[in-house]
Structure formats: structure tokens, C-alpha cells
Homo-oligomer: A and B are copies of this chain.
Amino acid sequence: MPTYKIAVLSGDGIGKEVMPEAIKVLDTVGRLCGIGFDYTHFDWSCETWLKTGQMMPEDGMSQLAQNDAILLGAVGYPGVPDHLSLWGLLLKIRREFDQYVNLRPVRLLPGIPCPLANKQPGDVDFWIVRENVEGEYSQVGGRFAEGTEAEGVVQSAVFTKFGTDRILRYAFELARKLGRPHVTSATKSNGLYHSMPYWDERFAAIGAEYPDVRMDQYHIDILAARFVMSPERFDVVVGSNLFGDILSDLGPGMTGTIAVAPSANINPEKKYPSMFEPVHGSAPDIFGQNIANPIGQIWAASMMLDHLGEAEAAALILKAMTDVLSDQSAPRTPDMGGLARTSDVGTAIAKAL
């Protein structure tokens, strides 16, 4: 029986509430498919930071490296500046494990109220490929003239050819693999003078290697508008770290799936463990009530299984999840108009398996 070592980082807030449900579902699918999971729980969180000034111990990364994959809940809590908690855990792991692909589905699902008019499940169904380790997310920069009237701050984005080419190539390969040969690039080369003209240049160059794949590009402002106006037209959308971040919250937002959508941080070469998390954050406002929607965490577990090569188990989870969503009498958390608790939804999906 294949057994996978899984690092479990529930993190902060509702991360702690949704994680047990994902594990419940993983254990169930494991029994069905003959897969074993060997979990190691890490309690690193903003509480750790408040006690130690660090988000993880000195040897944290090498502890994580022992695992086949990482399942993450959410990071961030009031009282700890966001940039410190994130750069000390989530962004650190993405970078040091070279998880340079962030992959997220934008998909209208049955049974989920959608903010867009006249859209049915199937109408909206595409993937966002986000560069996940460089670009606008950078610690290059700092303050100048601090404390004077001339005070200010410089924030430098750094795009390398190496980093740009490999994410673009991943997007083109994915479009081929999906049998949907169409890649849309998010740019802003009319305003961002150096970075985005370069991005466009590399998009054209890499695209030329894929003559069978149709290419188009939009400035990020009009692209955000087109997401909402005509989401049917997209297949694979590729963007920089920041643009991908924005689009991959907007996508789930407009399909009503913020609480449901997963996010995969992938090191495609499998040199390091990849990391899977829900799109939603730690949601301090609802933490402690056991009403958080666990489906994002559960879908993230399904993406993890896919990455580990367990496509059948991954598909079973996705099907159980969709069945529960389609069933009007199944339990729903308050964000979806129901009264169920986090654990009720997890149990229902485990049972549907």
C-alpha cells in the first residue's frame, strides 16, 4: 500500500477548523483506494510568532522537506503584521521549495449561488496559472528619507527570464494537456514601463514554440472586467505573481466559490514538496464558531492527491464534493445559506464517498 508523508499546517483562524474535515475525507478515500497517509502536524502559526518572533523554528524547512506534500490551512491573524506572518511562512515555503506554479480552478459549481447573471455550471470553467515565487512580491526596496517631509518607499519587482519563461511554458503545456489550446496572458505593458513589456516579449517568444496554441493578451484592468463580462472565453490564463493573485480571487469571487476554491503551489520537478491550500484566508471574524466552509480545504486535498499521482482518489473526492453541493438537502454552512457546522459538511462529503 503506497503511503504518503503529509505535513499538516493548519495555521491560524479557521485553518484549524477546516483541516480536520480534509483529513476525515482523506482517510476515507484512503481506505477505499488503498492509500495510506502518514501525517505530521506542525502547529506553526501567528501564535508561534507572538511567542518566539518567528513563524517556524530554525530547522522548519528541513522538517517540512521530509514530506511528500504539505497541506496548509491559512496564515494571518490580527496582532501580527501580515507581511511578517506571510513572509515567515507561506511565502517562505513557496520560495524555498521553488513552488513556482500556483494553479487555481475557476469553475461554476452546481448548488452554489453565483453573483453573475444567467450563468450555469459549465459556462465558467478555466484555470489560472500564476507565477508564484518572483515578480512583484519582493523584499527588494525600502524606505527613504524616513521621518522627513521627503519620506517615501521604493518597492522593486524583479522578473527573470528564467522565472518568466518557465511559468509561461507551464501554461502552454497545461493548455495542451487539457486539450484546450488557448492561453491568455495578463499584462499591463501600457503603464508598467519595464516589467510588462518584457513579460509580453517572453510571452510572444515562448508562444512561438507552441504554434498549435492560440494566444491572446489583455491589460489587467480590462481583463478583470472581461472576467465578469465574458468568463466563457477563457481556458488557461497566465499572470505574474500579483496579477495572478488578483485574478484568482476575482474568479472564485464571481463564481461564488471563494470558500470552496483550492490553490496548488507546485514544484513541477518534484525536487521539493508541493503545498495545497484553500483560496480563503484565516477569516478571524468567524473563527471559533465552527461555521467555516471546509470545502476549499477538501478540494485542496483532492488537488494534492492528483499531484501525488493518485488521480482516481482525487476524482472520487471531487465527485463526492459535487454530489453534496448538488443535493439540496445536504448540509450547508452559513456562507452558502445553510445552518450546518463545519464538521457536518465534512462528514457529509466523507459519507458520499
Q: In the complex, what distance in Å separates the CA atom of A196 from the CA atom of B138?
A: 12
Q: In the complex, what distance in Å separates the CA atom of A187 from the CA atom of B161?
A: 28
- How far does the Cβ of A98 sit from chain B's closest Cβ, in whole Å? 17
Is A310 positioned at the interface, with any CB of B under 8 Å from its CB?
A: no
Contacts of A90-111 to chain B: CB distance below 8 A? 91
Contact A191 B242 (CB under 8 A): yes
Q: Which of A113-121, A293-301, A336-344 contacts B (4 or more CB under 8 A)?
A: A113-121
Contact A153 B198 (CB under 8 A): yes
Contact of A158 among B81, B152, B224, B227 (CB under 8 A): B152
Could you give, for residues 196-223 of chain A, a 1 whenever the CB lies within 8 Å of some chain B CB and a 0 otherwise? 1110000000000000000000001110
Q: In the complex, what distance in Å separates the CA atom of A138 from the CA atom of B195?
A: 10
Contact B191 A245 (CB under 8 A): yes
Is A36 positioned at the interface, with any CB of B under 8 Å from its CB?
A: no
In the bound complex, residues from chain B placing their C-beta under 8 Å from that of A112 are none
Interface residues on A, range: 35 or more
Is A188 positioned at the interface, with any CB of B under 8 Å from its CB?
A: yes
Could you give, for residues 264-284 of chain A, a 1 whenever the CB lies within 8 Å of some chain B CB and a 0 otherwise? 000000000000000001000
In the bound complex, residues from chain B placing their C-beta under 8 Å from that of A289 are none
Contact B248 A228 (CB under 8 A): no
Known interface pairs A115-B116, A250-B224, A254-B228; A151-B161 also in contact (CB < 8 Å): yes
Contact A191 B136 (CB under 8 A): yes
In the bound complex, residues from chain B placing their C-beta under 8 Å from that of A137 are 191-193
Is A86 positioned at the interface, with any CB of B under 8 Å from its CB?
A: yes
Is A150 positioned at the interface, with any CB of B under 8 Å from its CB?
A: yes
Is A143 positioned at the interface, with any CB of B under 8 Å from its CB?
A: yes
Is A1 positioned at the interface, with any CB of B under 8 Å from its CB?
A: no
- How far does the Cβ of A251 sit from chain B's closest Cβ, in whole Å? 8
Closest 3 CB pairs of A and B: A225-B253, A155-B195, A221-B249
Name A residues whose Cβ lies closer than 8 Å to a Cβ of B.
76, 81-83, 85-87, 91, 114-118, 136-143, 149-164, 188-198, 220-222, 224-229, 241-242, 245-246, 248-250, 252-254, 256, 258, 281
List 15 additional A-B contacts (Cβ < 8 Å) besides A83-B196, A222-B258: A87-B193, A115-B229, A138-B193, A143-B198, A151-B161, A154-B158, A155-B193, A191-B242, A221-B245, A221-B246, A221-B250, A224-B249, A225-B254, A225-B258, A226-B253
**19 pairs from A and B in contact (CB 8 Å cutoff):** A83-B190, A83-B196, A85-B190, A115-B116, A115-B229, A116-B116, A117-B117, A137-B191, A138-B193, A139-B193, A141-B194, A151-B161, A152-B158, A152-B160, A153-B159, A154-B195, A224-B249, A246-B246, A250-B250
